[in-house]
């Protein structure tokens, strides 16, 4: 028979009469369906919730309008809660509001790396070195959904699927270059007003999405603001089955709230397992190594032979912000490459109370420089053990070994004589490192340069 009269499931005992659910089992079956769909919704809509939280956090920091651009002067510290920012780059960030402003112009500085993503965290445009202006600087025009008005010459023009869009500006010239950026309404192009720049680098605010029932309220906020059709039908259908639909208030009763709270917490646990203990062989940088790739599969859309790699999408967006083809397809000598781990050479989780060493072999394959930042495993933000919990090859006092390698130390206190090569950790907390190579060279791509594991010092 296809359906037995009694089934023991993770959702309870289900009873049937000749395949028909008995009345006393119906509620449990639907509760199970809501839980499954809630978990699926969490894993599949992390990108959108991440940007809702990012916008909320920036608003509390004073970046509450497209003409206000947040920036990190001179670079991001461990005070604000951001998903895996680096401590080497000056950022500029804001959100476009095409519903309020209509067509909006963004002018980027020369020699910059800038990206626009829509509110579901899908790629819209590169501006700067990876964009059509090829780093010369240019004017970019972003049009709202359904726009059928004027499309003037002189702009790189993009149709956006959402009204809200995330703008990230990275300029090689640092803060002065960031402040050359301009954002204004197309209607004001003849006499555009000045922009306001807000230093957010050391402000205390949170841009990370929720991991409980509030997650679904974040998603409901996004769905309510954006037009029908802004999200693909499958994900929109999953959300609609939970009561999250455009034009419909999200008002679950207490029973469903409880189920969705469970769903978010279970989904967060699954996202964390996918990030820190990946099971996809493609995740691992080298066979037998714990070092993992942040972009699995090399597609900014997470596509592989026509199928969406759902775990790769969840992994990336649970840990990071900004999506662009330039990140997924680094080229020799250009762009940046990333890898991370969460364990030592014995497979144990990294312990903030212990002492570890990591050897960076000689001739690291970075045309420009390399850096390691360490992050809090709970928030995926910079570990709040120091203002800049990082070390880079640009550090002027970095000690090298006779063979050109570099031994780094990670511990609550620096081993004697190793202060310049030390990143402080916090007892009682775990942590995880992210290695960045700026301008990766051929040994990165052919895998001939390999990073060893973290080695824990004897207790």
Distance CA 106, CA 140 (A): 5
What is the reported pLDDT for 37? 98
Distance CA 73, CA 200 (A): 8
Where do we find the tokens 């009204």?
163
* Secondary structure (3-state) at 78: coil
**DSSP strand E in 10-163: where?**
12-17, 20-21, 68-71, 91-97, 104-108, 112-118, 123-128, 138-143, 156-159
What is the reported pLDDT for 459? 77
Question: CA distances (Å), 265 to each of 214, 219, 260, 316, 344, in order?
Answer: 11, 15, 9, 18, 27
- Which tokens sit at 206? 């949170």
What is the reported pLDDT for 336? 86
Distance CA 301, CA 307 (A): 10
Within 295-395, where are the H helices? 310-319, 325-328
Distance CA 134, CA 67 (A): 24
Domain ranges of the chain: 25-54+209-274, 64-199, 330-456
Distance CA 156, CA 192 (A): 18
pLDDT tens for each residue of the chain, 459 residues long: 588 999 999 999 999 999 999 999 999 999 999 999 999 999 999 999 999 999 999 999 999 999 999 999 988 999 999 999 999 989 999 999 999 999 999 999 999 999 999 999 999 999 999 999 999 999 999 999 999 999 999 999 999 999 999 999 998 889 999 999 999 999 999 999 999 999 999 999 999 999 999 999 999 999 999 999 999 999 999 999 999 999 999 999 999 999 999 999 999 999 999 999 999 999 999 999 999 998 898 899 999 999 999 999 999 999 999 999 988 777 898 888 999 999 999 999 999 999 999 999 999 999 999 999 999 999 999 999 999 999 999 988 999 999 999 999 999 999 999 999 999 999 999 999 999 999 999 999 999 999 999 999 997
Let me know: does 186 contact 103? Beta carbons within 8 Å.
yes
CATH class of 25-54+209-274: mainly alpha
What is the reported pLDDT for 1? 58
Pairing of strands 431-440, 366-376: antiparallel
- Which tokens sit at 36? 């499954």
Distance CA 408, CA 452 (A): 12
- DSSP label of 449: S
**Residue in 313, 262, 310, 271 with CA at minimum distance from that of residue 36:** 262
Distance from first CA to last CA of the chain, Å, rounded? 59
CATH number, domain 64-199 = 2.60.40.1610
**Residue in 449, 31, 44 with CA at minimum distance from that of residue 274:** 44
Best CATH choice for the domain 330-456 from the list 2.60.120.600, 3.40.630.30, 3.40.50.300, 3.40.30.10: 2.60.120.600
Let me know: does 420 contact 407? Beta carbons within 8 Å.
no
């Amino acid at each position: 028979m296809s359906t037995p009269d009694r089934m023991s499931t993770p959702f309870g005992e289900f009873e049937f009469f000749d395949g028909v659910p008995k009345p006393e089992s119906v509620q449990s079956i639907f509760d199970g369906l809501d839980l499954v769909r809630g978990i699926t919704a969490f894993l599949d809509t992390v990108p959108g919730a991440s940007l809702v939280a990012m916008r909320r956090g920036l608003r509390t920091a004073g970046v509450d309008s497209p003409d206000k651009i947040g920036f990190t002067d001179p670079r991001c510290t461990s005070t604000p809660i951001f998903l895996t920012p680096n401590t080497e780059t000056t950022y500029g960030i804001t959100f476009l509001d095409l519903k309020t402003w209509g067509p909006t112009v963004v002018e980027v500085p020369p020699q910059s790396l800038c990206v626009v993503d829509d509110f579901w965290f899908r790629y819209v445009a590169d501006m700067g070195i990876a964009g059509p202006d090829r780093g010369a600087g240019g004017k970019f025009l972003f049009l709202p959904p359904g726009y059928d008005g004027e499309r003037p010459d002189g702009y790189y023009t993009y149709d956006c699927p959402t009204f809200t869009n995330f703008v990230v500006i990275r300029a090689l010239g640092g803060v002065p270059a960031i402040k050359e950026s301009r954002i204004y309404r197309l209607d004001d192009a003849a006499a555009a007003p000045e922009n306001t720049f807000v230093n957010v680098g050391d402000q205390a605010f949170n841009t990370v999405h929720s991991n409980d029932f509030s997650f679904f309220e974040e998603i409901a906020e996004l769905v309510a603001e954006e037009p029908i059709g802004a999200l693909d039908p499958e994900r929109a259908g999953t959300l609609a089955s939970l009561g999250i639909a455009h034009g419909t208030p999200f008002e679950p009763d207490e029973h469903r709230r409880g189920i969705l709270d469970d769903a978010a917490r279970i989904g967060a646990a699954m996202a964390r397992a996918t990030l820190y203990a990946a099971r996809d062989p493609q995740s691992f940088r080298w066979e037998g190594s714990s070092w993992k790739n942040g972009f699995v599969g090399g597609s900014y859309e997470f596509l592989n032979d026509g199928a969406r790699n759902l775990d790769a999408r969840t992994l990336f967006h649970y840990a990071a912000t900004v999506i662009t083809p330039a990140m997924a397809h680094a080229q020799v000598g250009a762009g940046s490459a990333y890898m991370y781990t969460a364990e030592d050479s014995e497979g144990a989780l990294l312990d903030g109370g212990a002492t570890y060493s990591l050897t960076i072999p000689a001739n690291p394959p970075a045309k420009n420089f390399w850096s390691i930042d360490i992050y809090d495993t709970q928030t995926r933000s910079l570990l709040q053990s120091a203002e800049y919990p990082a070390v880079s090859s640009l550090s002027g006092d970095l000690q090298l070994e006779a063979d050109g390698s570099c031994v780094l130390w990670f511990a609550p206190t620096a081993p004697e004589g190793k202060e310049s090569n030390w990143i402080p950790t916090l007892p009682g907390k775990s942590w995880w490192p992210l290695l960045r190579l700026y301008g990766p060279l051929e040994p990165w791509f052919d895998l001939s340069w390999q990073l060893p594991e973290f080695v824990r010092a004897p207790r």
